[in-house]
Structure 1
């Protein structure tokens, strides 16, 4: 009945459970004591207005080609998942899909899926707090098709794909997350999507720390982006985010790359000790760079080439080995009140 609390005794339940009433399902003995396992369907299909799942392990094991559903599948209603363990070799551990589908996930472990750890699609919404999402194949967490994804105090790591993927005009919000050791970008914002990333650490990834691509926008502030194998921040293909008050350092390529007719604002950042230039601007891009300290690079603090442009104001470009600023013929920048150890180059 609606409003009931159902206590589940310890054990392994090999079945697919459909919940279409407003109930609370609570595992006795904690998430390691109660397991719901399914082979060819979602373990939990949640279709009620108000459902709470607490203290349960959900495990999906498929012997055939997986269909596009999650081990926990939310197609409508408000769902709360607390203290659960989700794993799957299907399409996703948690799938939230549809304009009437919303999930609030707290203190859960979501891991070891061939596809997505969390997938929000088709105008769905999902908020995750204090979760560990790891070792998933395509992305630890993703939002597609005008969906909304929020992560707070989460760890997303060790994936074979992206840490967080926001695309198809979706929105993402990340606060105090630790995103590391993923094979692709820690946070990727694609296709007119918007992301607000605050007070996060993005590090030791095999790709970039953050990528904005194809008219993507957003605000990145008070973050540390370091020790990634590609450029720490990539702004590409007509994108225009704001990068504010961030520390960007010890990357294996440039600190920030702005390319492909992109813009954006980079302000109040400290960018240092990256292998290439602190900031690279190319291919008709035109960012505003102001009040930044860019130092200790083996290449110029800022390198502008292949038709790049930009405004540089109130920056400290001292202590870069080959000089403060390099502007290739055919490129152009406007400088004001910039500190450097050499005279500014002519464009």
Structure 2
């Protein structure tokens, strides 16, 4: 061993003398210094993974190529044993790691740098400069030994030694006697010259008070982040085409985000893409009494080594997240709780360890998640770990869906879609358990062990106060019935399957869903057609949010519902439809809003003291029968429609501050009104002369003259009195811009038998 170290030290001295005499262009500006450190960090990262490829290969030619690339990267074109290798791209570097390091080290010793950084940072730079160089020089000598096939450690061990020295230079050994390395030095600087005058995300996190929210604008941010306190980080909403996204990207294959604390903290992240990290997020508690609670909503993990690593007394709650082309999805160790809901895992490529590796006393819960286009074992459990799998789809894994560690490794190549040692009908584990139902696992499933995971989900569930309605929805079978016991419930609910949701109790409307949440109380949409029925519920708020948001492929039938004090009662768009009966809307902002291709049908409904009853635009259809609208407070209208088919039968609209009905959008808007009363409003019907061209204002202003027209109006047997008649509309029965371009609308009040 003494002979080995002597050789290394002699080599180090020789290299040190050679390098110190090199003609190096000095760094004279801060921008050049930032660029040099960033390049040095990237070259180190590249060299580290070349070393890994060297000791991972069993082919002598591959090992020789890796050794040559290491020598090229470390020494550069002017170094010993340099040989251009076109495949590696080394010849294009122009400067080696050692030469670039000397350049950076010289700059650190110059007085001008100490004036540009904080004293603490300067001392870190100085210490790194004194230590990292030794590791780099020794790594260079070991790489030359490996190239010349005279490594005293052997070919594979030579690469391992080189890797260890490079890791030390990067500063990634967790040892109190080693100061930080090049990677930490790089993390203290902006990652590009263009960012040098811009505040970093880390600086914003450090300055933000505990418990506050940091909002990130769209763009790509390349930083290492350390979070040690309660905080919410929110990006822009994810766009389907990848535009307008907030992306956090790795620096030199390092972890993108590290969350660590010696006290309990809660970190929430929303609408963010995490890309290209050795690990996307590391979360760990560093004392027994500390906990780290990580909440992820609509987060995308793309092309990372590992997406999540969670350790200690920590928890991670993932909802509506996407994991795409990562080498692993989650590693959980310790007393960790991992909860995935409505997540998507695809493009995973890994070894026997699996996309999800759960060990110690950790537990994994996955609900309504989908695995597809993966290659390798998906879920690997230690015998002491636990798992619950509910309503998940696992397809095309090309390996095992579930593996329990400690079984015969030779059996891992068996064709079973689910594999486990046979230990009883309920598959108990030492200290851990496996439970679940309603899962689809494509392929051959071992019948005697975990077949119960594919049993149907329950068709009936009951939710009591203090329990989660969303959890029941996630666990119910398609088409099942959920009964909610009377009480107050405050949570955001998402429905993506057919079901019945009904309030229980003899007292009418004893189940209250409170809108004290961001967005909607209940959101309904799906990738394929679903049918929802809601009854005997109350939606209430504080003049904010909306109760029900209905989107693509969703048909919702509601009956005996109350909507009160909400920003919006119901929003319907993207082909969604709502059929309402015996519902009451009181004191809301906009009660029913129809967006593009929304459909609403209401019968025997009551709208009272709302700002507006119905607002519709964008090729929607609205039908109202045997319903009453009273006391709308908007000074415009009770019902406002553009480019919409509106039909009113046996309805009453009275005592509105503005008009009863406003019709805009030209010929694309149609009104058919029969047996209805419009009384006590400003106007009965406001006929706006305009266009429905989406690029124009829906009213007449700004539209091309040839596009302007009135809506198409039909009907009979209605009462629309003028200001001189009992209960008359105050300003007139009708209002229109150009009387000469409109036929007499009084036909609407004429009696006629309906066909």
Give the TM-score of the pair, scaled to structure 1: 0.68
Give the Cα–Cα distance (whole angstroms) in 1 for the partners of residues 593 and 340 of structure 2: 29
SS of the aligned residue for 1:35 comes to coil
Match of 2:501 among 63, 80, 84: 80
1:314 offset after TM fit, Å? 5.4
Could you say which residue in structure 2 is the equivalent of 1:339? Answer: none
Offset at residue 60 of structure 1 (A): 3.0
1:235 aligns with 2:663: yes
* Inter-partner Cα distance in structure 1 for 2:628 and 2:640: 14
How far has the Cα of 1:210 moved from its partner?
1.6
1:279 aligned to which of 734, 745, 750: 734
Q: Secondary structure at the match of 1:255?
A: strand
Corresponding residue of 2:614: 187
2:460 paired residue among 8, 24, 43: 24
Q: CA deviation at 1:190?
A: 1.4
- Cross-structure match for 1:120: 550
Change (3 A) 1:266 1:276: farther
Quick check: 1:201 aligned with 2:589? no
| Cα gap change, 1:23 to 1:230, in 2 (>3 Å) | same
The answer for the alignment partner of 1:30 in structure 2 is none
**Alpha-carbon distance in structure 1 between the residues aligned to 2:593 and 2:609:** 15
Quote the Cα distance in structure 1 between the aligned partners of 2:735 and 2:539: 37
Matched residue, 2:564: 134
User: In 2 relative to 1, CA 315–91 (structure 1 residues): closer, same or farther, beyond 3 Å?
Assistant: closer
The answer as to whether partners of 1:202 and 1:224 remain within 8 angstroms in 2 is: yes
Return the alpha-carbon distance in structure 2 between the equivalents of residues 141 and 135 of structure 1: 13
Matched, 1:91 2:519: yes
CA drift of 1:146 comes to 0.7
* Change over 3 Å in CA distance of 1:94–1:55 after alignment to 2: same
Does 1:151 find its partner at 2:580?
yes
Q: Deviations over 1:277-309 (max 9, x none)?
A: 1011335xxxxxxxxxxxxxxxxxxxx3xx541
Contact 1:43 1:59 in 2 (8 A): no
1:263 aligns with 2:691: no
1:189-235 residue CA offsets vs partner (Å, 9 max, x unmatched): 2111011100110111112222221x100311100000111110111
Q: Tell me if 1:309 matches 2:309.
A: no
Partner of 2:532: 103
- Map Cα deviations across residues 138-189 of structure 1 (whole Å, 9 max, x no partner): x111211111011101001111x21111221111100010012112x20122
Q: Does structure 1 retain, via aligned residues, the 8 Å contact 2:670–2:713?
A: yes
Q: Give how far 1:22 is off.
A: 3.7
- Assess, with a 3 A threshold, how the Cα gap between structure 1 residues 308 and 231 changes in structure 2: closer, same or farther: farther
CA distance in 2, matches of 1:49, 1:316: 49
SS state of the match for residue 108, structure 1? strand
- Using a 3 Å threshold, how does the CA distance of structure 1 residues 254 and 312 change in structure 2: closer, same or farther? closer
| Partners of 1:97 and 1:123 in 2: CA distance | 6
Distance in 2 between residues matched to 1:209 and 1:222, nearest whole Å:
16
Distance 2:494 2:488 in 1: 11
* C-alpha distance 93-312 of structure 1, shift in aligned 2 (>3 A): closer
The CA deviation at 1:316 is 7.0
**Deviation by residue 1:315-341 (Cα, 9 ceiling, x = unmatched):** 779xxxxxxxxxxxxxxxxxxxxxxxx
Shift in CA distance, 117/180, structure 1 to aligned 2, threshold 3 Å? same
- CA distance in 2 between partners of 1:314 and 1:240 (Å): 16
Answer 1 or 2: higher relative contact order, Cα 8 Å, separation at least 6. Answer: 1
Structure-2 separation of matches of 1:148 and 1:26: 27
1:320-339 maps to which residues of 2 (within 5 A)? Answer: none
Closer/same/farther in 2, CA of residues 315 and 223 from structure 1, 3 Å limit: closer
Partners of 1:168 and 1:149 lie apart in 2 by 14
Secondary structure, in 3 states, of the residue corresponding to 2:566? coil
- Counterpart secondary structure, 2:518: coil
Change (3 A) 1:101 1:314: closer
C-alpha separation in 2, matches of 1:143 and 1:315: 29
Looking at structure 1, the residues matched to 462 and 477 of structure 2 have their Cα atoms a distance apart, in angstroms, of 16
1:242 is displaced (CA, Å) by: 0.6
Structure 2 gaps, min length 5 = 1-338, 342-366, 368-389, 392-456, 505-510, 691-708, 722-727, 751-755
Q: CA deviation at 1:136?
A: 1.3
- Which is richer in helix? 2
CA distance in 2: counterparts of 1:233 and 1:266, whole angstroms:
14
2:466 corresponds to which residue? 35
Q: Distance in 1 between matches of 2:597 and 2:461?
A: 34
- Measured at CA, do residues 312 and 257 of structure 1 come closer, stay the same or move farther in structure 2, by a change above 3 Å? closer
In structure 1, the residue matched to 2:36 is: none
* Structure 2: distance between partners of 1:48 and 1:101: 13
**Distance change (3 Å), C-alpha of 1:234 and 1:136:** same
Aligned length: 259
